[in-house]
Structure formats: structure tokens, C-alpha cells
Amino acid sequence: MHPFLRVPALSALVLLASGTQAFSQKDAVNYQKAVDYKKQYADQEAVALDVIHDFTFSIDKTTKQPMVLEEESLHLMSLRVNNNLYHLSFYNDNSRITKAELKKDRKEVYLSTACGNYEVDNIFHSDAKVCSYRIPFEKAGDQASMYITKKYTDLRYFTTVYLPTRYPAEKREITFTVPDGIDVEIKEFNFEGYDIEKSKVYNPKAKETKHVYKASKLRPLVHENNTRGNSFVYPHLLVLTKSYVTKEGTQKLLGSTDDLYGWYSSLTREVKNDRAVLEPLVKSLTEGKATDEQKIKALYYWVQDNIRYIAFEAGIAGFKPEAAHEVYQKKYGDCKGMANLTKEMLKIAGFDARLTWIGTNSIAYDYSLPSLAVDNHMVCTVFLNGRPVVLDATEKYISFNDYGERIQGRPILVEEGDKYQLLKVPVVGKERNLISREHTQRIEGNTLIGSAKVKYNGESKTGILYSLNRSKTEKRKEILENFANMRDRNITVAKVLASDLSDRENPFTLTFDFEAKNRVSVFENDMYLTIDPEQDFKNMDVEAKRVSDLYFDEKVFRKSRITLQIPEGYKVSHLPASLKRENPSFSFNINITQQ
């Protein structure tokens, strides 16, 4: 073989070695970056090096309607080995995903995709659908880029864009490109405390305006207990597409509350209720009822008890109620269907009942903003002697003239033909949720033995009644015992008696005898006692890194009276000091006395 023929082989070997060395150096650099990021984001499995969303508004040439093209670019770095991330993208009847691709080292790779109906607990929640994209990583420091294009065809449903995402983001950028002829207003929420750059630039040549929002080092969206909805917590943008211009002139979308109600009303007018199906039921339920209030209660409670509530996901399409007779025949429905059935039954009985739109207390907006994001619920309002009473049949076992915490104080949009009324749901004081406890106990060995009587009102009462009534009869004894002993293995209960499980009007009462072990500790001649079986808030911790304010889903109001009989031959050597704390948001008043 001629010597010169070996040169290309040697050159190839050198190039291969150089390429391997370069790859290893890049690997090492990325691994070190991952280690550094892990120090910053210890509880995270990946970091987004950049997340970019471009939203381009235009007029669809086929439909002549305004549309939005969303282009998402997500560049991820894995913070652990053998890491499978699943990126979700939602769509519905008014939006569709037109492209999705995954790239590594700038080359497109296979993208494992699963798309289908959005379900929770095997219940189909609405027209919402979701695509799940698997992004695999072998090593910490590995990177991948996800690109998704989505088209929105009805801009009423294009409402909110959040700056934080599922992952911590080193770089975040959102751009809205709006041409002349489409009236779009962008409202900013919860920007305080964040370093967010924003700019607005008009391009006269292209006849379009660009709104750009940039941020860096953004913490991710996280789930925290005892918090309000994300719209109260995280920086986001509410997009209001008000109108657009065609050859025929200006076409309205949602530019005012009048427009919002007009669109809602147009949907409800399309619903055709068959009264003939419901009239026999209404007659049988109201027969023999002496007063209007009794008749309303009979109809309202029947819907609560007999129609299964299926909760549709907030903010996802579906603002048109199902026909009342169809909900009745199927025996299940969402909030809109249940509200429509309640309304129709009341109207058959001769009452002034109306559909009512409302956003629960998880939503930060009110009706000064003409957006579908304001609403996530529907109820019925009946006017009794000229006074509006809100009826929410999805609140199982709630009584007439009572309101769940989630709707108290919330603004409501009440239908009135071509017009509407803006009202508010009454706020009920903390007394509504009173849990009162009376315990009498004595000491036997290291055990406290006694009896108890507990009365539940408000949120706790409706929750207990719902849990008991939906359970099988043979399971109720066990459930009641769990309520009595609070699932504490050291507490044995007996003679458990409960009040009427169908009584919405009065407190739910539970009486029982109990034996509480390991509540007494004896050291020589001293005896130490733990006499409070509930120990409210004992395990209530506020995380140091908590993002949102601490929020309870009810006004907590509890009163306890615990009486301990001192055993013969003993005297009290020490009592804990009484404690009283007053704060605009809470108060404690604990008195310990010997009589």
C-alpha cells in the first residue's frame, strides 16, 4: 500500500477524536449548568432557558372573521437523568393545534404525542381537548426545544396569557402583533413585584402594533394549598378583542358588558325547553305546599338531590345551557344545565326565575371587563316578593337563602329579556360556619373517657350531608365514626348518633361517647394531660417559599367547651395561660379556668 493512501484515514481518525472531545466538553458544560440551576430550583425537574409566545392577529381570508395564530417556542434543560417531561397543549372547538415538533441539537426528532378529550376522574368535562407531548432526556444538562403552532378561530375565547409557566424560566417573552382594523385591549394583572419590561411600537408601513412583554428569572406556576385562583396571584395579561373592521363597517365582538350579555343571551335563546316533560313533576312537587317559599324549596331541593353535577373546566368554552327537559331525563348536567332546569321548573310553577352568570371567588375579574374570563359558573335567581334570591343547585344540601362561600359577595349578571341586572350575592357572616363542640371527660389510667356533642353549620354541614347521603347505607356508620374520632387511631367512639340527614335547615348534630388513649402521661406524682381532641391548626404550616397569600375556602368559626373532671386525690398544679389575639383577618380567644 502506498504511504500517501494512509493520510485520509489518519485525518478521519483525528477528526473523529476531535469531534468526540468537543461533544464531551459541551456535555460537561451543560451538566455544570444543570447543577447550578438545580441549586436555584431544587424542587424542579427542568428549567426553561427561554419561553417565547408570539400571537399574531389577522382577518381569516375564508371566514372573514378575526383570528389569532399562536407560535410557541419552549427551550428546556433537564435537571435530572432519565427524565421524561410531558408538555400539555389545550384546544377546543374554537382553537386547533396546527403543528408540533421537537428538536434536539437543531434537528427534528420523533415526538411521542397523545391527544384526546380532557377528562378528570373519568368524567368528560366539556369540549376541551388536550395534547400531551413526551420530551425525553437521558442526562442532566440535556436540552430540547418544543415548537407548537395553534390557531384561534373565535377570539371571544382567547382571553388570558400568563407570564409564568410550568417551569422556571430564565427568559420569557410574549409578543402581540395587532393590525389596524382589529381593536384589542391588553390588561395587565399582578405585575407588582416582578421585573417585567414592556413596549408598544407601531409600524406604519405594516400598519400594525406590536406589544412586547419580557421577563427573566421567572418562578414557575405552582400548586399551593389554601390559595385563591391564579388570576389573583400570578402576573398575566387579559386580552379583550372588542371589534374588527370589514367592508361592511365595524363588527362588534366583546367591547362592553352590553356586548357580553347580548352574546350570552343569544345562546340561551337557542335553547328549547320542553315544558310538557316537566309539568307533571312540578305539579307533584308543589302540591300541598302552602306558601311560595315552600314551593320554591321543594323544586330547588329536588334539583339538588336528583341531578348529578358534572363540573366543567373553568374558562373552557360551553356557555350554552342544555335544554331543561334533557337534563331532567338524563339526571345529570353541568352548572348551566342545572340552572336552566331550576329556572324552567320555577317558571312552570309561576315564579319569576332567571338565568344568572357569575364568576366564583377564584376569579379576580368583574363585569367591568367584557370577557368570558369573568365567568365560570351559572346559577338561577328567583324573585320572591320582589327580592332576588340566588339558587345554586350545584351546592348540594345547601338551604334556601344560604350561599356557598365560593359565590358570596360575587357580582352576578341576571337576565332580564334584552336587558340585564348587575347585582351581588349577599355575604354571610362567619356565624354561618359555626362548629360548636362540647366535650365532658374524665381520666382512667392513661385514657380520657367522655362524651361529646358537635354541631356543624355552613360549609362543614353541607359537606358532611353530601358525603353521607351519597354513600351506601352500610357505610354510613363507618363514616360517622370517622367524623367523630377524626380518623385518630387513638380514639375509639361508641353510641354515635346523628341528626336527620335530609335536614338542610338546621345544624347537623353528632353525639357520641369516646375513649382517647395516650392523652395522659404520668411521671412519679405528676400527671400531664392533652384534653383538646381536635387541636385545630396543629399541623398548619406556612411554607417559607410560599408564593400566594394564605386563603381559606370558608370563614372559619369554631367554639369549643371542654370540661375535665379532676380525679380524686389530685389537684391542679399548672394551667396554661389564657390566650387572646385580635387581627383584622383572624382572632383567637382561649380561656382555661378551674372551677
What's the predicted TM-score (pTM) here? 0.89
Q: Residue 308: which pLDDT band, with cuts at 50, 70 and 90?
A: very high
Smallest CA-to-CA distance from 405 within 424, 428, 385 is with 428
Residues 361 and 395 in one domain: yes
Q: According to the model, what pLDDT value does residue 9 have? A: 35
Residues 217 and 328 in one domain: no
**What does the pLDDT average to over 157-161?**
96
Q: According to the model, what pLDDT value does residue 580 have? A: 94
CA atoms 124, 129, 130, 131: torsion sign? positive
Q: According to the model, what pLDDT value does residue 16 have? A: 33
The C-alpha cell of 198 is what? 414592556
How confident is the model over 126-141, as pLDDT tens digits? 567 899 999 999 999 9
Domain boundary among 428, 449, 478: 428
Residues 510 and 575 in one domain: yes
Residues 229 and 277 in one domain: no
Q: According to the model, what pLDDT value does residue 312 have? A: 63
Residues 126 and 172 in one domain: yes
Q: Which domain holds residue 51?
A: 46-252
Residues 160 and 50 in one domain: yes
- 249-252 and 196-203 beta bridge pairing: unpaired
How far is CA 532 from each of CA 9, 487, 540, rounded to the nearest angstrom? Answer: 84, 15, 16
Q: According to the model, what pLDDT value does residue 589 have? A: 94
Q: According to the model, what pLDDT value does residue 225 have? A: 87
- In the predicted model, is pLDDT for residue 14 greater than 60? no
**Pairwise CA distance, residues 443 & 180, whole Å:** 81
- In the predicted model, is pLDDT for residue 557 greater than 60? yes
Q: Are 190 and 234 in contact (CB under 8 A)?
A: yes
Domains: count for the chain: 4
Residues 26 and 55 in one domain: no
Which of 22-26, 63-67, 146-150, 357-361 has the weakest average pLDDT? 22-26
How confident is the model over 335-351, as pLDDT tens digits? 999 999 999 999 999 99
**What does the pLDDT average to over 246-271?**
96
Sheet of 352-358, strand order = 387-391, 377-384, 352-358, 411-416, 419-424
- In the predicted model, is pLDDT for residue 124 greater than 50? no
Is residue 595 domain-resident? no
**What does the pLDDT average to over 554-573?**
92
How confident is the model over 232-241, as pLDDT tens digits? 999 999 999 9
The C-alpha cell of 160 is what? 388570558
Is residue 257 domain-resident? no
Q: Residue 316: which pLDDT band, with cuts at 50, 70 and 90?
A: very low
- In the predicted model, is pLDDT for residue 123 greater than 60? no
CA Rg value for the chain: 31
How confident is the model over 66-109, as pLDDT tens digits? 999 999 999 999 999 999 999 999 998 899 999 999 999 999 99
**Pairwise CA distance, residues 13 & 10, whole Å:** 5
Is residue 260 domain-resident? no
Smallest CA-to-CA distance from 318 within 271, 278, 254 is with 271
Residues 102 and 73 in one domain: yes
How far is CA 342 from each of CA 217, 248, 287, 402, rounded to the nearest angstrom? Answer: 49, 41, 17, 16
| Residue 544 φ then ψ, to 5° | -65, -30
Residue 139 is given by DSSP the state: S
**What does the pLDDT average to over 289-308?**
98
**Pairwise CA distance, residues 73 & 146, whole Å:** 6
Higher-confidence residue of 242 and 549: namely: 242
Query: Mean pLDDT for the chain?
Result: 91
**What does the pLDDT average to over 362-372?**
96
**What does the pLDDT average to over 512-539?**
87
Domain boundary among 394, 428, 462: 428
Is residue 259 domain-resident? no
**What does the pLDDT average to over 573-578?**
89
The residue type at 205: K
**Pairwise CA distance, residues 508 & 275, whole Å:** 36
Is residue 264 domain-resident? no
- In the predicted model, is pLDDT for residue 122 greater than 50? no
- In the predicted model, is pLDDT for residue 243 greater than 50? yes
Is residue 367 domain-resident? yes
The CATH number for 413's domain is 3.10.620.30
Residues 562 and 543 in one domain: yes
Instruction: Count the alpha carbons within 13 Å of 520 in the hemisphere toward its beta carbon.
Output: 20
Domain boundary among 405, 428, 451: 428
Residues 324 and 312 in one domain: yes
Q: According to the model, what pLDDT value does residue 547 have? A: 87
The CATH number for 213's domain is 2.60.40.3140
**What does the pLDDT average to over 276-297?**
98
Q: According to the model, what pLDDT value does residue 24 have? A: 65
Q: According to the model, what pLDDT value does residue 3 have? A: 35
Is residue 560 domain-resident? yes
Residues 332 and 414 in one domain: yes
How confident is the model over 444-468, as pLDDT tens digits? 988 999 999 999 999 999 999 999 9
Is residue 487 domain-resident? yes
Which of 116-125, 368-377, 533-542, 571-580 has the weakest average pLDDT? 116-125
Q: According to the model, what pLDDT value does residue 1 have? A: 39
Which of 175-179, 309-313, 380-384 has the weakest average pLDDT? 309-313
Q: What percent of the chain has pLDDT over 70?
A: 93
Residues 82 and 174 in one domain: yes
Q: According to the model, what pLDDT value does residue 36 have? A: 95
